[in-house]
Amino acid sequence: MPKITLPDGSKKEVPNNTTLYDIAKDISNSLVKVAVAGKINGQLKDLSVAVEDDCNVEIIKKNDDEGIEIVRHSFAHLIGHAIKQLYPDAKMAIGPVIKNGFYYDIDCNKSFNEDELILIENKIKDLVKKNYAVIKKVVTRQEALKVFSDRNEPYKQEIVQEIPEGEEIALYFHQEYIDMCRGPHVPNTKFLKHFKLTKVSGAYWRGNSDNKMLQRIYGTAWDKKEELDDYLKKLEDAEKRDHRKIGKQQDLFHFQEEAPGMVFWHHKGWTIYQLLKTFMRKINLESGYKEINTPQILDRTLWERSGHWDKFGDMIFTTHSEKRDYAVKPMSCPGHLQVFNQGLKSYKDLPFKLCEFGLVHRNEPSGTLHGLMRARQFVQDDAHIFCTESQLHDEITKLIKLTFKVYNNLGFENIKVAFSTRPEKKVGSDDIWNKSEKILENSLKENVPDYITLPGEGAFYGPKIEFTLTDSLGREWQCGTVQLDFSMPSALSASYINEKGDKASPVMVHRAILGSMERFIGILIEHYAGKLPFWLCPEQIIIVNITDKHVEFAEKIEKTFKDKGFRCSSDLRNEKIGYKIREHIIAKIPYVVIIGDEEISSNKISVRQYDGTEHKLISAEDFIIKLNSKKTH
């Protein structure tokens, strides 16, 4: 009989063919009521799976992190069940779990809108109420193909064909509906209670724009109703903060079909962009970087030598001229190496630091484009340090501290750090990778002891440190990176003269703090719900007059603020003062200065702040003193 070891260290023998469900029930009736899956030697399994040999066993409850994932995955199958009952001719593709939820891609002649979502959601609720058992059956490739052929499910057949020979194929039976999955899944729909279908979007099959566009239904599911309600409230808040919506409301930018994934900056939005750029330029200057600018189009051979062509070829825009192939710059690294290569460098010149606000283009799939957050044209706050191996520890430490400083100054305190190690496809020897990873790891242990490790997530040329911000809604945004690269400098013939008078290749450190200027502005807009810090506001002060007789004094006050360096304008329209104040408060202008009879007679101003605070009859000079402390970050 197999001997099992439970998480508390206790051991017991169980009869042959004992399932994980049997083990849960034997432990306690209360446990089996909340058990949705189990683990055998650390591998997730359905409760219907039997233990065969001596092993470690753990029961997964519905409110465990892994249990919630299983609940969400099972809800994805319920979308399939509901869809096939409502639209029998629909073809089901894939339905995976994502962060906080799940989705299913569907090929259906019926176009799903909000009304259809409600219909599908109600059908799922009806199915849940039936408390039916979800039954798993392991089948052969031929059996799976026949099942999905008989049911006219071409996407499932395609997936089956690609499963490696000998790998288990499991079908899950939801009454008359059959789906295929690695599992595990809940044993019964009684565990599927608190959910919501959230939206519909388009998605190409396999993410390839050459394939058919499918409809993707998203949903979320939680263990408790309170958790679901809290998440839906966050979604509602996120929708209100959507940078695209605020961008339109505040006249910051727009997108249009003639330039997909490329932003049209309006004056106010471009002002934010320039202010952020000035902030980063000052940071770079103080940190010893020399700002450069490199060409937008470079010969294809350069990208082949750097390794980018093989890695990113599908995402590179290309052009052709005079029998030569060119790439539109997807990143700045090779260009910076060309600048480094100009003129003989000595070890005394190192570290040699270059930075660029590099305009880059990447051919992102159209279905993934999302305003400023995912664009085809964007600017990176790119920088590279060329140094010796002995200088790496100090330089990496400086970069970690600098990155934290920038994020704190921009209003982000909760910053997570991850260490990404060598990917499967990489350049460079194992010795180089071992050395690179050790250097980054030592710097992290010294400066960020609570970092996490992401195996296989490094760049193709070297390991990296990733910085992730948490915004005011608790959402995480991966932004900054520090990447170590021993390979690209030698691939592009970069060298310096070392202390012995010999040629040597420098080590290259790739660094971006904001990542993409566009994306970071989108994050800032949503983090602050459009009410940016005073120093980043495109319009800091608006002067409003009550009647036409107050225009002259209003213009004088406007000039006073402008002369002191504030971004100020006047609204002198013949509108009611209440209407004008409300309009500018909605536009999130920090200060509305009101000019009327009292203000003119006292030679003072009255101010209404965005948060409702009022300053009645204060001199412009005293108010400027108050503002000066907020003028810079």
Task: Classify residue 523 as left (phi > 0), alpha (psi -120 to 50) or beta.
Answer: alpha
What is the reported pLDDT for 487?
Answer: 87
DSSP letter for 133, please.
B
Nearest CA to 454 out of 430, 488, 478 is that of: 478
What is the reported pLDDT for 459?
Answer: 83
Give the model confidence (pLDDT) of 226-237 as tens digits.
999 999 999 999
Q: Which residue type sits at 399?
A: L
pLDDT at 367 over 80: no
Please state the φ and ψ torsions of residue 330, each to the nearest 5 degrees.
-90, -15
What is the reported pLDDT for 417?
Answer: 96
Give the model confidence (pLDDT) of 607-620 as tens digits.
999 888 899 999 99
Please state the φ and ψ torsions of residue 454, each to the nearest 5 degrees.
-115, 95
Please state, rounded to an integer, the average pLDDT across all residues of the chain.
93
Give the model confidence (pLDDT) of 29-49 as tens digits.
999 999 999 999 999 999 999
Nearest CA to 608 out of 598, 617, 621, 600 is that of: 617
In contact, 202 and 213? CB cutoff 8 Å: yes
The secondary element (H helix, E strand) that includes residue 379 is strand 377-387
pLDDT at 509 over 70: yes
Give the model confidence (pLDDT) of 114-140 as tens digits.
899 999 999 999 999 999 999 999 999
Active site residues: 333, 362, 380, 382, 384, 464, 510
Burial of 99 (0-12, 13-18, 19+ CB in 10 A): exposed
Mean pLDDT within 79-89: 96
Q: 3-state class of 22 per DSSP?
A: helix
Mean pLDDT within 158-174: 92
Burial of 160 (0-12, 13-18, 19+ CB in 10 A): buried
**Alpha carbons 538 and 504: distance in angstroms, whole number:** 48
Question: Of all residues in the chain, what percent carry a pLDDT higher than 90?
Answer: 85
Band the pLDDT of 631: cuts 50, 70, 90.
low
**Alpha carbons 178 and 288: distance in angstroms, whole number:** 62
**535-544 b/e (C-beta count within 10 Å ≥ 16 → b):** ebbbbbbbbb
What is the reported pLDDT for 47?
Answer: 96
CA angle, 468 then 472 then 474, to 5°: 60
pLDDT at 262 over 80: yes
Give the model confidence (pLDDT) of 522-558 as tens digits.
999 999 999 999 999 999 999 999 999 999 999 999 9
**Alpha carbons 337 and 317: distance in angstroms, whole number:** 21
**Alpha carbons 108 and 80: distance in angstroms, whole number:** 12
Mean pLDDT within 438-442: 93
In contact, 386 and 322? CB cutoff 8 Å: no
**Alpha carbons 306 and 104: distance in angstroms, whole number:** 39
**Alpha carbons 481 and 191: distance in angstroms, whole number:** 41
Looking at the DSSP bridge assignments, the partners of residue 203 are: 214
Q: Taking the alpha carbons of 420, 424, 428, 434 in that order, is the dihedral positive or negative?
A: positive
**Alpha carbons 317 and 296: distance in angstroms, whole number:** 11
Give the model confidence (pLDDT) of 311-327 as tens digits.
777 889 989 999 899 99
**Alpha carbons 346 and 365: distance in angstroms, whole number:** 44
Q: Hey, which bits of 167-212 come out as E strands?
A: 169-174, 177-180, 194-204
**Alpha carbons 260 and 474: distance in angstroms, whole number:** 29
Q: Where are the alpha helices (DSSP H) in 505-550?
A: 517-527
Longest dimension (CA), the chain: 98
Give the chain's radius of gyration (CA, Å). 30
Q: How many CA atoms lie within 13 A of 395 on its CB side?
A: 25
Question: Of all residues in the chain, what percent carry a pLDDT higher than 70?
Answer: 100
**Alpha carbons 239 and 577: distance in angstroms, whole number:** 30
In contact, 369 and 260? CB cutoff 8 Å: yes
The secondary element (H helix, E strand) that includes residue 333 is helix 333-340
**The total number of residues written for the chain in this structure:** 633
